[in-house]
Amino acid sequence: MSSAGPPMKISEPNSAEYIRPSARANSRERPSQQQRQITNSSLHECDWISTSLCLPPLDAHGGEVMYLRLPAHQSEASRLKQHGGEGYSSEYDNRLSLMQLDNYLATIPQLVLSTQRLLHGDFATKNNMSNQHDHGEYFRRTLGKQGNQNSRSSNDMQMHQSAPPHHRLITSANSGRVINVLQGEIAHCTASQADILVSDGATTCHIVALWSRYIDSKSDEGQDFIDTIFNGSALATLTHIDGPGYERCVRDAIYEHIKYHSGQSWQITDNNYTADVINSWSHQASFGKGIIDISIHVMGGFNDKNGSSIETTSSVLKTFASVSSECNNNSFGRRLPQIRMTLKTCAVASANDDGSRCPLGRGLGLEVATGSIFLAEVDDIAEDGDIVPGASANDGISAQGPAVTVRSVRLWASSFHVPKSKQENRLIVIHRPDSDFLCIEPFFFGYHINAQRLLDYSDKKLLLATSTSPDVERLNFVGKVRESLTYMNRNKSEKIFQLGRPMKFKRVGQNGWIRITEES
């Protein structure tokens, strides 16, 4: 959404307005979902809705639980103040809400720190804090609470005066077993299956990482809370989302973690999605008082002119908040584990902007065993090795993974070969914790005249026609687009997905892959 006129100054909750319930971190108590608070501002008054989505404690040793808030629609008082008797625009209301969210995320101290650690490293964060008299002074300066300065502009100055952040290059030899997740894909795995989950090339897209473990609440009896892990292994998830509209897929990702830690399976219907999960869980699983602890990391987007980045942020955060509330409401009062979802990192939109409408972080890696995240870039050069039959020539021993060109074609095939009325936002699951295969679901593709027209464009025209953010794409963007479109126009899906079956790949060695046929 384009914004007309100069940016508006938006009021957001300050640190004193965070919800701080007195309950302990492992208590069953939750904030009221109906609680609202109107912030004071000379320009705008907005409603803020409390959620069950946790924030990390301010104190590294624990402390009171804090929860994320999300902006509601503009309040009636603000509508009258801003518009008088001239009517009201829902588009303006939505744009205002997104701007409020963008500003608010920059005022949460825990998220400011985690964003700085991700983008600039622990040293830069500690150095900034050591130059202040105390943490409060650091936060006041970092968050721009001086005079009438806008918090976002001051935060941008503090965070973006350093060199562009370093992205760790992930190769086939330097990072252990890698699973590379492309745009529109999602992968789940354990430490026995892979060492690193990674995705890169994000501009307005968001990369979301989940890492969970089951914690036995016997820690109440004096044991170390962190070390009392019930399941014995953590589950890691990474996905690359290109916009809003993936709410069902994000829910699926959360329930994959619940299913893994419960050790059970269930059937889901469309009528009462969350209740189906919880009811099946309560009938099949046997738990004491435990917690399924899910850490959430979101990175991507920038301060783009159209506002598409913060729109994606809003969609993702609202879905996580909704699922967290539903799970806790359904499990409350039953002998079921509490679902504790914590937003650990949110380096998104303006917080991921270098000050010139360009993203800082473009790729994210997740260490499967520890849950640590880092900026990453995937090496696209394959080493000599076995070529995967039926795929493109760039598939050897590579951190990119198998059949990367075929996988990239899916996005284009959907645009060209699927009617708009049947197109859906769907994340393709390429890896699951109960299988050692990397799978590519079959999809239809083949020659299309409009794809050929794009291939006939100059590089500049092709960039403008195919990118949501042409000004900030990497130099290899156009080359990759041409590679995908050329492959689609020169091949037929029935020859790649024989008999309409998925392509299955098995890892060989560290990062080699071979295709498994039904006869294998």
298 with 177, same domain? yes
When computed from its CA atoms, the radius of gyration of the chain, rounded to whole angstroms, is 24
pLDDT for residue 9: 33
- Is residue 298 domain-resident? yes
Residue 130 buriedness (CB in 10 A; 0-12 / 13-18 / 19+): exposed
Structure tokens belonging to residue 312: 């994606």
pLDDT for residue 420: 79
- Tell me which residue of 431, 438, 351 sits closest to 403, measured CA to CA: 438
Q: What is the C-alpha to C-alpha distance for residues 419 and 499, in angstroms, rounded to an integer?
A: 23
Strand ranges (E), 269-420: 290-300, 338-348, 364-367, 373-378
Structure tokens belonging to residue 361: 């972080």
189 with 278, same domain? yes
Three-state SS at 500: helix
pLDDT for residue 62: 66
- Is residue 51 domain-resident? no
- Tell me which residue of 372, 378, 375 sits closest to 195, measured CA to CA: 372
Q: What is the C-alpha to C-alpha distance for residues 30 and 69, in angstroms, rounded to an integer?
A: 14
Q: Domain range holding 244? A: 168-385+408-434
Element (H, E) at 409: helix 404-417
- Is residue 269 domain-resident? yes
197 with 325, same domain? yes
Q: How many residues does the chain have?
A: 520
499 with 424, same domain? no
pLDDT for residue 90: 72
Element (H, E) at 170: strand 168-170
193 with 261, same domain? yes
Q: Bridge partners of 240?
A: 207
- Decide if 327 contacts 60 (C-beta within 8 A): no
- Is residue 101 domain-resident? no
416 with 463, same domain? no
Residue 399 buriedness (CB in 10 A; 0-12 / 13-18 / 19+): buried
Those residues with Cβ within 8 angstroms of residue 356's Cβ, 6 or more apart along the chain or in another chain: none
- Is residue 498 domain-resident? yes
429 with 472, same domain? no
Structure tokens belonging to residue 65: 């639980």
- Percent helix, strand, coil in the chain, to 5, is 35, 20, 45
Element (H, E) at 199: strand 196-199
Q: What is the C-alpha to C-alpha distance for residues 52 and 102, in angstroms, rounded to an integer?
A: 19
Residue type, 208: V
Q: What is the C-alpha to C-alpha distance for residues 174 and 194, in angstroms, rounded to an integer?
A: 13
CA distances (Å), origin 465, targets 160, 334, 447, 504, 516: 30, 53, 19, 33, 37
pLDDT for residue 331: 61
pLDDT for residue 94: 83
520 with 419, same domain? no
- Decide if 256 contacts 236 (C-beta within 8 A): no
List pLDDT tens digits, range 209-259. 999 999 876 544 444 444 344 445 899 999 999 999 999 999 999 999 998
Q: What is the C-alpha to C-alpha distance for residues 250 and 450, in angstroms, rounded to an integer?
A: 32
- Is residue 358 domain-resident? yes
- Decide if 381 contacts 326 (C-beta within 8 A): no
428 with 362, same domain? yes
Please state the domain count of the chain: 2
- Is residue 54 domain-resident? no
- Is residue 489 domain-resident? yes
Those residues of the chain that have pLDDT short of 50 are: 1-43, 129-162, 219-231, 265-272, 282-286, 382-394
416 with 464, same domain? no
290 with 177, same domain? yes
pLDDT for residue 2: 36
Three-state SS at 274: helix
pLDDT for residue 80: 61
Sheet bearing 512-516, strands edge to edge: 437-440, 503-508, 512-516
pLDDT for residue 274: 52
237 with 305, same domain? yes
